[in-house]
Every structure is written in C-alpha cells, then in structure tokens.
Structure 1
C-alpha cells in the first residue's frame, strides 16, 4: 500500500503542533505562577493578599465617599452605586497597566525560544482578569449582604460591562506595551492622561446629570459606556440606551490589533532594548 506524501506530512505537522500548543500553555501557567510569587510571594497570605488589598482599599473609598454623598444619582444606596462604577473602571485600569508592562517585566525570559511576547501578555492578562473578577464578586456580595440596596441584577448587562472592560484594558494595554517598550517616556505620559479619567468616566455621576453639550463630549470616552452598562445591570429602571458596546469593542480591537502587528514587527528589537 502506498502512502500519500501529503497525508504523511500533515500527520507530522499535527504531531508537532500539538506539543507546541501544550508547551505554550505550560509557559503561560509558569509565567502566571512567577508573577504571583514575585509580586506577593513574600507577603503574608501570598496571592490572597493580592485580592484582599484592593477589596479593603475599595471598601475604604466607598465608606469615605458614602459620608459625603448620602443620596446617589441612582437608587438609595451609595456603596452599590459607587462600586458599580468603580469596579469596572479598576478592571480596565489594572488590566491595561499589567499588560503594558508585559515585555518590560519579562524581558530576560524572552531570550528563551519557548517564551514569546504573546505568552507574557496572556499570562498577565489572565492573572489580572481573574483577580479583579474575584475582587468584584467579594465586594458586590459584601455590599448586597450588608446593605438594603434595592437592586435587581441583570446578569447579561453585567457580563457585557465586564467583557467591555476586559477587552478595552487588553487592547489599550497591548498598544501601551509597544509604546512603553520603545519609548520609556510614554509610561509617564500615560499616567498623566489617566489621572482625570476617574472624574470623567461616570464613576461618581451618570450621563443624564451632565449638561449638554458636555454630556455628548463625554460619550467619546469608552469608559463612560462601561460604567453605564454596569449600572444598567444593577438598576432595573436604568436603561442607559446611549451605551454602545460596538464602539468600545471596536476601539479595543483596533488598539490591540495595531499593537500586536507592531510588536511582531519589532519583536527582536524590543528584546535587545
């Protein structure tokens, strides 16, 4: 019986690809464990403190703001109003910051053939996403348990809000990963840009309370759509019809794709910087 050379070649290719896929998964898991150990390996509680620290910090911020804003723009409970805006904002910010440092923090590891810049990005993206999701679950559960929030959860909109925050953080983070790796000054420039973001992203206000035309100007900020979508998931009567997930996902996809193209193009140069 004769063997088709094309069939034999395809079988060999499949045998090669399968180990490579598993090897990449092992590399990503190893990078995640490395990140966890280097960041909080020596602190009491280890990774648990990585979750408790933001939980306690956000809880303190919520308590402080509750003293000054007793009547929120939506509902009757300020902690749930504040948390529903702050948590997706932090989800975006922390993912973007972590992903942007992927190459800088693992530059020495990129000398190994098995480790690629994609692996480092995915490892930091997965760790930041899982951590912030756990922080959100703990905080929302704590607030709903302690307070009478009078909220009706719409999980589809909550999931959409988190999906937008994760994708935008990943896309902007990948683009910043390229810019920071090539131009160190961009890290300071980005931190300056993000300082007023907390005030113009709907964390402590809603779009309907902003006078025109300033409200429409703020809709160019994709974070406004994310915080509004999250609040629509907690407040049954709040529709937030102005939210455009396609706008947020388009920005995320455009920034991420452009960043990946140039990271691949300048991959060797970035390793030697």
Structure 2
C-alpha cells in the first residue's frame, strides 16, 4: 500500500489534494451548467449536493475498478518475489482507493452542507451501505478486468468505449425516478444505479429509492469477483511471465 501511495499520489506536488480537486471540479462544472437551465435539481434545492451524491460514489467505483484492473501490470516486478502474490496486489489497490474515496466523501459532503447552510438529515447507514456496494462492484469488475486486460489487450480499448456512456446512464446527472419508461427499466439493470440511489437516500431523508436492490449488486459483484479470481489463480503465472 505504501508503494501504491507513493506511485499514485507521490509523483505530483499536489498529491492527495488532486484527489479532492478532481471531484470538486466535476461537481461545480455540472452545477454551473445545470443552474443556467434549471431553477433546482431533480432532488432537493442544492445543485452541488445533488451532483456530489452522484459523482462521489460513481468515482469510488471507477477508481477501485480501474486501479484493480491494472494491478498485475503495475506490480509485475514485485510478483516475482515468492512472498508476494497477485492477491496482495489486488488487495493493496482496493484498500488504498477505497480509503481515499471515503476520505474524499468525508471532506466534501460536510463542506458542501456547511458552506451552503443546508438542512440535511443524514442516514449514515444508507450512505455507508451505498459505498460498500460501490466498492464491492468495483472489486468484482476490477478483478475480472485484471485478467481480461492481461490476456486480451484489445479489451482495454473496448472497455473504455463501453464505459463512456456510464456516467450518463447511472443516475449521476438525472434522477432514476425521473427517467421515462421503458428507459428506466433498462437503467435498472445497470448495477451502478443502485449504490448511487442508496447514497442519495442517505442524504435526502424524503427520498425513498425503492428501486434499489442490494441483492442484485452483490450478485453481480460476487460472480465477477469469483470468476476473476478463478481465472487469475489459473493463469497468473503465465501473465507474469509473458
């Protein structure tokens, strides 16, 4: 984890500050654009809080899955040591990025609430569970992609193309409940929609989020994680020696 910290955040003079500035820039860019066209967001009265509750869990998933997907590539030299295994590389990247995402949320959400003087009744259990689902999904997808990216170089570009519309169809910008049918039904099958909805439920006490299915997200996460670990267990030596 120390190696990952120095490699990821130690190269820039901004370091961990950039990890906070990146979501801040996204939140306020969306706030600026949408406040020109709408008087209020789909939920509540604050554009920054609405977009923060979507962007932060979305980025938590993306950071975990993206960093875990290249864990073997960036730790290849270390894996030649008998005491270091591929699971060490995966766990280190998961823990570092999960802790970083939690740190960002703990800093930004209270700052937005205090700065804009918002009256919010927070459900910490819902927020925590929403983040756990985002981390679980990121770990599952990241582990499976760790194998696929190692054996199929073309998958990296294909996955990047598939991920481009993810920001738009995960409920980050548009509230799930406001999406017209049948697109709302299609959107439900995107597992990332559920942790984002759960985090919003934790911030907005009047928001029900009855569509959220933890079982579905955990099923997708479990299947992808198990498949990724099985494939890596069988082929990790071939990948390292390639």
Shorter-chain TM band: over 0.9
| 1:67 aligned partner | 35
What is the SS of the residue equivalent to 2:203?
coil
Residue ranges of structure 1 left out of the alignment (5+ in a row): 1-31
What is the SS of the residue equivalent to 1:215?
helix
Residue ranges of structure 2 left out of the alignment (5+ in a row): none
- Give the one of 124, 130, 141 matched to 2:110: 141
- Give the one of 163, 171, 175 matched to 2:132: 163
**CA-to-partner distance for each residue in 1:60-109, whole Å, 9 max, x for gaps?**
43543453344111111111111001111111011100000100111111
Larger Rg: 1
| 1:116 aligned partner | 85
Please give the TM-score of this superposition, normalised by the length of structure 2.
0.94
Determine if contact 1:161/1:227 at 8 Å carries over to the other structure.
Answer: yes
Query: Cα distance 1:119–1:62, how it changes in 2: closer, same or farther (>3 A)?
Result: same
| 2:146 aligned partner | 177
What is the SS of the residue equivalent to 2:138?
helix
Determine if contact 1:152/1:234 at 8 Å carries over to the other structure.
Answer: yes
CA RMSD of aligned residues (A): 1.5
Structure 2 residue 214 is the aligned partner of structure 1 residue 240: no
Distance of 2:211 and 2:221 partners within structure 1: 19
| 2:171 aligned partner | 202
Distance of 2:200 and 2:20 partners within structure 1: 24
Query: Cα distance 1:65–1:166, how it changes in 2: closer, same or farther (>3 A)?
Result: farther
Stretch deviating more after TM superposition (152-161 or 141-150):
141-150
Determine if contact 1:70/1:78 at 8 Å carries over to the other structure.
Answer: no
| 1:223 aligned partner | 192
- Give the one of 70, 92, 95 matched to 1:126: 95
Residue 227 of structure 1: how far off its partner (Å): 1.1
Distance of 1:75 and 1:52 partners within structure 2: 24
Structure 2 residue 10 is the aligned partner of structure 1 residue 41: yes
Distance of 2:14 and 2:171 partners within structure 1: 34
Determine if contact 1:66/1:79 at 8 Å carries over to the other structure.
Answer: no
| 2:59 aligned partner | 90
Distance of 1:148 and 1:80 partners within structure 2: 11
**Number of residue pairs matched?**
241
